Each structure stands twice: as structure tokens, then as C-alpha cells.
Amino acid sequence: MSNKVGVISMAATAVASASVLLLFSLATPASAKLSTAYYRETCPKAEQIISDVITGKQISTPTTAAGTLRLFFHDCFVGGCDASMLISTNVFNRAERDADDNISLPGDAFDTVTRAKTALELQCPGVVSCADVLALATRDLVVTLGGPFYTVRLGRKDALASTAAAVPGNLPSPNMTMDQLIRVFAKNKMTVQDMVALSGAHTVGFSHCSQFASRIFGHNGTGGHDPTMNSKYAEELQSACANYQEDPTIAAFNDVMTPGKFDNMYYQNVLRGLGLLASDAALAADKRTRPLVELYAANQTAFFSDFTRAMEKLSLVGVKTGRKGEIRRRCDEFNNLSSS
């Protein structure tokens, strides 16, 4: 009985949404075509398969989650959430992930997507896009670390192009001024509030010494550390990073207090001079962003709620549907190997 009711109401919804599409398809953005039920018929276990793979991967390699979250953010900010950042460079083309400004995305993150995609191809070949795999894997990994669950609508197609030349100017860097940071986010219709909430991602993962060396060595050419940093923290970083030029792999936790936990500690740190990157410290210094930092530092529920909304919004940036993209067979290659 209850089954029947379910079927009837589903059919009614399908009719309603079909007519909505007919009326408005010319005017609606691609993101409006995504839905949580996208693979319900074609690959009903997709979300479960992805979730199983990433849980195993995160247990065996705990750096996976932060790396994947950053990879997703970069993918979305360079031409949309379309898995263009997953394409490997080949003889025809230098891809986004190999852009000059050394975005140093970790191999673990690519490996997670590859594994999930391989598992999916066994169950439902050629159905689930790499862009959707990355979006779902990111959400599941955030939850694994203790972060909030949020809804991921599905139906993204994978990009037909990925070039290193598309990267410059589209990603934030720690030495940008607040005006520049705000502009990079605004390009993707992200507000100042979205930017501050998403920056809370720096509650996990790590940064290499080169990314904050100017704050701890020879700030303003003085030889000392940035005076806005907690002195003890700066000294510990100076000692940890002493050989960073010989060994560029040395890195520090983004959140020195609770490095592996997705919580609001990042904001508390930033207010106490324990922010790692210059851009982290800038959020506490600028009057446009400081009130939000104070709010999130005091109220984790407010942070989770704004982070959730901002991630849902980020996940829809520049998505491609229909013939604007494809379902890649392998996430690191276009189906047509001579594309670029």
C-alpha cells in the first residue's frame, strides 16, 4: 500500500518537473538541472559505492580528506566543478593540475577519485561522472572528519577541456590582499560570507613552509616574524621550517590545535595569532571579515550552517550538463585522447 502511494506521487512529480523543464529550460542555468535522484534508475548504489571506497581510503591514508577538499575547491574555481583538475598532462596538452603556480595538489586525492570511479565502472559502466564522484567524495570526507553533512545534487558532466593556461588569476593565494581575495571569490558569485565560511576548511590539512615563510623569516625585511603572530607559535614554525629550502616537503598543520578534526578551531586560532597563512591572518584583520570570524569562533553551529550553504553553492559553480560535457571512462583522461 505505502509502496503504491510512493509510485503514484513519484509519477506526479516527474510530470510536473517535465513541464517545468519544457517551459523554462532556455532560461534556467545548468545547475538547476542537477538533482539528488539523478542516478536513482541508472546507478542506484552510486552514493554507497563511493562512500565505501572513500571511508576505506581515509582510514588507510588520513591525509586524503583535506587533500580532496582542496582539490574539489580548485576544480570548481577553475572553469567550474567539472573534473577538469583531474586530467593528466599528455603529449597533446599541459593540463590544469600542472599549472605554473604550483598548486601542489596531493596524489592521495586523485587516487581516491580513481578508486571510487573504478568501483563504479564495475557496477554501472559509463554512467557516473568524475565531477559527481569528486563532489560526493568531498562531502563524505568532510563528514568523516567530523564536519557537517550537506546535500550534493548530481548530474554534472565532465569537462571537455583542461589547460594550465586557465588557472592563473582564478585561485586565491596567501599573499593576496583582502580586496584580491574577495575578487577571486566574487568571480564565482561567492560572497564575503561564503569566503570566510569556506576558509574554515583550513581547520584540517597542512601547508608547506614556502607558503608562509615570508611571515616567519624576514618579515618586512627585518629578519623577525610577523608581529601579529603569537611569538611562541612563530618560533616553533621557524624551527620546524629551518631547512625548508633544502627540503621543500616540510609542512605544518593548518590548525595547530586540532589538526585532524573538522571544527571551528581555525577561527579561534586566527583571533589568537595562531593563523598559519597570511590570508588566514588577514581574515581577522580586515573589518569586512572579522565579525564573521568572531561569530564562527564563538558558535560552531553558525559555522557549520554557513559552511553547508557555501559548499552547496560551491558544488554548483560552472557545472556542465547535456552536450557541454561527457561521462569520462577514466577520470584522468578525456574519452577523446586528442582533446585538450
Ligand X SMILES: *[C@@H]1O[C@H](CO)[C@@H](O)[C@H](O)[C@H]1NC(C)=O
Question: What residues line the site for ligand X (CB under 6 A)?
Answer: 101-102, 173, 175, 220, 226-228, 299, 301-302, 305, 336, 338-339
CB of 335 to ligand X, least distance (A): 8
Cβ(174)–Cβ(279) below 8 Å: yes
Q: Which is nearer to ligand HEM, 69 or 216 (CB)?
A: 69
CB of 37 to ligand HEM, least distance (A): 26
Q: Establish if 309 lies at the interface with ligand HEM (CB under 6 A).
A: no
CA quadruple 216, 252, 145, 190: dihedral positive or negative?
positive
CB of 298 to ligand X, least distance (A): 7
Cβ(123)–Cβ(133) below 8 Å: no
CB of 55 to ligand X, least distance (A): 29
Q: Which is nearer to ligand X, 24 or 92 (CB)?
A: 92
Q: Establish if 258 lies at the interface with ligand HEM (CB under 6 A).
A: no
Cβ(331)–Cβ(120) below 8 Å: no
Q: If contact means CB under 5 to 8 A according to the sort of partner, which of ligand X, ligand HEM, none does residue 227 touch?
A: ligand X
Q: Establish if 304 lies at the interface with ligand HEM (CB under 6 A).
A: no
3-state secondary structure 110-145: HHHHHHHHHHHHHHCCCCCCHHHHHHHHHHHHHHHC
Active site residue 225: no
Could you list the residues known to form a binding site, using ranges. Answer: 75, 78, 80, 82, 84, 96, 172, 202-203, 255, 258, 263
CB of 143 to ligand HEM, least distance (A): 14
Count of chain residues binding ligand HEM (CB under 6 A) = 25
Residue with cell 558569485: 189
What residues between 198 and 237 interact with ligand HEM by CB under 6 A?
198-199, 201-202, 204-208, 211
Q: Establish if 305 lies at the interface with ligand HEM (CB under 6 A).
A: no
Q: Which is nearer to ligand X, 28 or 102 (CB)?
A: 102
Binding window for ligand HEM (CB under 6 A); candidates: 12-20, 27-35, 129-137, 170-178: 170-178
Within 10 angstroms of residue 191's Cβ, the number of other Cβ atoms is 13
Q: Which is nearer to ligand HEM, 87 or 182 (CB)?
A: 182
Report the alpha-carbon distance of residue 62 to residue 198 in Å, rounded. 21
Report the alpha-carbon distance of residue 214 to residue 224 in Å, rounded. 10
For residue 50, what are the CA distances in angstroms to 149, 166, 208, 263, 329?
Answer: 15, 29, 29, 24, 16
Report the alpha-carbon distance of residue 289 to residue 293 in Å, rounded. 6
Report the alpha-carbon distance of residue 244 to residue 249 in Å, rounded. 7
Q: How many CA atoms does the CB half-sphere of 38 hold within 13 Å?
A: 22
Which one from 74, 208, 219, 225 is the annotated catalytic residue?
Answer: 74
CB of 239 to ligand HEM, least distance (A): 18
Q: If contact means CB under 5 to 8 A according to the sort of partner, which of ligand HEM, ligand X, none does residue 55 touch?
A: none
Q: Provide the terminal-to-terminal Cα distance of the chain, rounded to the nearest Å.
A: 53
Q: If contact means CB under 5 to 8 A according to the sort of partner, which of ligand HEM, ligand X, none does residue 305 touch?
A: ligand X
Q: Please, is 334 exposed, middle or buried when counting C-beta atoms within 10 Å of its C-beta (0-12, 13-18, 19+)?
A: buried
Beta bridge partners of residue 208, listed in sequence order: 251
Q: Establish if 148 lies at the interface with ligand HEM (CB under 6 A).
A: no
Q: Which is nearer to ligand HEM, 119 or 176 (CB)?
A: 176
Q: What residues are labeled active site?
A: 74
